[in-house]
A = this chain, B = another copy of it.
Amino acid sequence: MKHIITKLNPAFDHRVRLGIMSVLMLEEWVDFSSLKETLNLTDGRLASHIKALEKETYLEVRKRFIARKPNTSYRATDEGRKAFQAHLDALEALLRAGNSGQPE
C-alpha cells in the first residue's frame, strides 16, 4: 500500500543519469566521448555519474583501442534496463493515476 513515488528509483533522480540511461536504452555500446558530447558534459561530471550507475551494476564497461586510441564504451546491463524501465513505468503511472495508494 505504498505510493507510486516509492517506486521511483533514486538512482535516476538526476537528469544526467536519466540522459545516460536513455541513450543506452536505445543503443548498445556507446563510448565515453559520444556520451560526453551528446549530453554536453565535462569529463569529470560524466565519469562520476557513470561511476554511480556502475556501482548499481546498471551498466558495464568495455575498454579497447580503436585507431590506436583508447576507447571506452558502456552499455546498460539487463538489470539496468529493467530498473530503468521500472522507473519509467512508475513515472507513467504517476502521471496517469497520480495519487493515493495503489494496491501492491
Contact A19 B88 (CB under 8 A): no
CB distance from A39 to the nearest CB of B (A): 6
Pair B88/A27 contact, Cβ less than 8 Å: no
Q: Is the interface of A mostly helix, strand, loop or mixed?
A: helix
Shortest CB distance A32–B (Å): 15
Counting contact residues on chain A (CB < 8 A from B), the size range is 20 to 34
Q: Are the CB atoms of B38 and A19 closer together than 8 Å?
A: no
Residues of A within 8 A of B (CB): 2-6, 8, 10, 13-16, 18-19, 22-23, 25-27, 37-40, 88, 91, 94-95, 98-101
B91 touches A26 (CB 8 A): no
Residues of B within 8 A of A88 (CB): 95
